[in-house]
Amino acid sequence: MAAAAPDYRQFLQPGTVSKLANLDLVARLVVEGFITGLHRSPYHGFSVEFAEHRPYMPGDDIRHIDWKVYAKTHRYYLKEFEEETNLKTYLLLDASASMGYSSGTVTKLRYATYLAAALAYLMIGQRDAVGLVTFDDKIRRYLPPRSISSYLTLLLQEMQNTLPAATTDVAQTLHQMAERIHRRGLVMLFSDLLDDPQNIISGLKHFRHNHHEVIVFHLLDPLERSFDFRQDGLFIDLESGERMATQPWHIRSDYRRLIAGHIESLRRQCRENRIDYVLMDTGTSFEGALLQYLGKRQRIGG
């Protein structure tokens, strides 16, 4: 009897992925496991229709240097093609202190990092340009979008080295990036969104006003939704340091009502502003988020 085929979903479980130290391996494992299970490839080919030139930068593929332009100007310029210039992707990674929470093996930040790394691996494999922004109450690092394969290493290294710290100000980062990005792009936000929902939506609407496509991955730990703590405890705000001793069963009902209202408010306002909202439980697989991404790419012609 032939051996049963391995279940690809094992590669998408956060607990399994968390045992791997190398983020490049994590990205490849998640993406390849996902593609195997999907039974179809997300790679849509590459348009060779010329669009514009841009200056050569160290690490660029010299095969795309326009030697005719060099002969006239004695400067190196690369040819960019329509697929590369139509859409640039910006991964906005929330690294505030609250993202360091975990009731299990994987923090929200690490889950977001795995997901962002897999998407970066997938998109650069399609020769899409990908950039990265890490932030807390301000922008920490900004790596502008590029599409060369060697750039993936830099993106993954930056994600790997990002640790949770400081307070949250999602809206400020969204507004700053919306002012910085001039060409229409795809913006992916990875955050627990533990901030004022009206301010968050205001920042997201700024992107939509500038005609960017937006996907929000709202990452929450299972216990942050259920508040299913069974013993009396001391709860500490990871950002403010505020402490509260309580019996969880006393406040569980009110807490669940408030968190459900927060989620529904964000979901509804995202829908009203044509923003894709994806609620992610950090205890579940990455499959749903990847499917959501591919669905979005199909709708915008990626």
Distance CA 83, CA 78 (A): 14
8: pLDDT strictly greater than 90? no
- Phi (first) and psi of residue 259, to 5 degrees: -70, -35
Looking at the structure, do residues 261 and 223 belong to the same domain, yes or no?
Answer: yes
CA 174 to chain centre: 14
Looking at the structure, do residues 138 and 197 belong to the same domain, yes or no?
Answer: yes
Predicted TM-score (pTM) above 0.85? no
Mean pLDDT, the chain, rounded, equals 82
Distance CA 15, CA 119 (A): 19
Looking at the structure, do residues 56 and 164 belong to the same domain, yes or no?
Answer: no
Domain end among 82, 106, 138: 82
State whether residue 173 is helix, strand or coil: helix
Provide the number of structural domains found in the chain: 2
Q: In the numeric block, which tokens belong to residue 40?
A: 């179809």
Looking at the structure, do residues 120 and 205 belong to the same domain, yes or no?
Answer: yes
The least confident of 78-82, 173-177, 205-209 is 78-82
Name residue 293's amino acid.
Y
Distance CA 171, CA 174 (A): 5
Looking at the structure, do residues 206 and 187 belong to the same domain, yes or no?
Answer: yes
With tokens 């990674």, the residue in question is 93
- Phi (first) and psi of residue 121, to 5 degrees: -60, -45
Residues 85-93 have a mean pLDDT of 81
2: pLDDT strictly greater than 90? no
Residues 169-182 have a mean pLDDT of 93
Domain residues for the domain of 75 are: 50-82
For residue 37, tell me if it sits in a domain: no
For residue 158, tell me if it sits in a domain: yes
pLDDT value of residue 83: 45
Residues 195-203 have a mean pLDDT of 94
For residue 31, tell me if it sits in a domain: no
Q: Which of 129, 128, 132 is nearest to 112 (CA)?
A: 132
Looking at the structure, do residues 78 and 203 belong to the same domain, yes or no?
Answer: no
CATH code of the domain containing 184: 3.40.50.410
Distance CA 194, CA 237 (A): 11
Looking at the structure, do residues 95 and 239 belong to the same domain, yes or no?
Answer: yes
37: pLDDT strictly greater than 70? no
Looking at the structure, do residues 70 and 203 belong to the same domain, yes or no?
Answer: no
pLDDT value of residue 286: 85
262-276: pLDDT as tens digits: 999 999 999 999 999
Domain end among 58, 82, 106: 82
State whether residue 76 is helix, strand or coil: coil
State whether residue 80 is helix, strand or coil: strand
pLDDT value of residue 248: 74
pLDDT value of residue 66: 83
3: pLDDT strictly greater than 60? no
CB atoms within 10 A of CB 107: 22
107-166: pLDDT as tens digits: 999 999 999 999 999 888 878 899 999 999 999 999 999 988 899 999 999 999 999 988
234-266: pLDDT as tens digits: 777 767 778 877 777 777 888 889 999 999 999
For residue 12, tell me if it sits in a domain: no
39: pLDDT strictly greater than 90? no
Name residue 4's amino acid.
A
Looking at the structure, do residues 224 and 288 belong to the same domain, yes or no?
Answer: yes
How many angstroms separate the most distant Cα atoms in the chain? 76
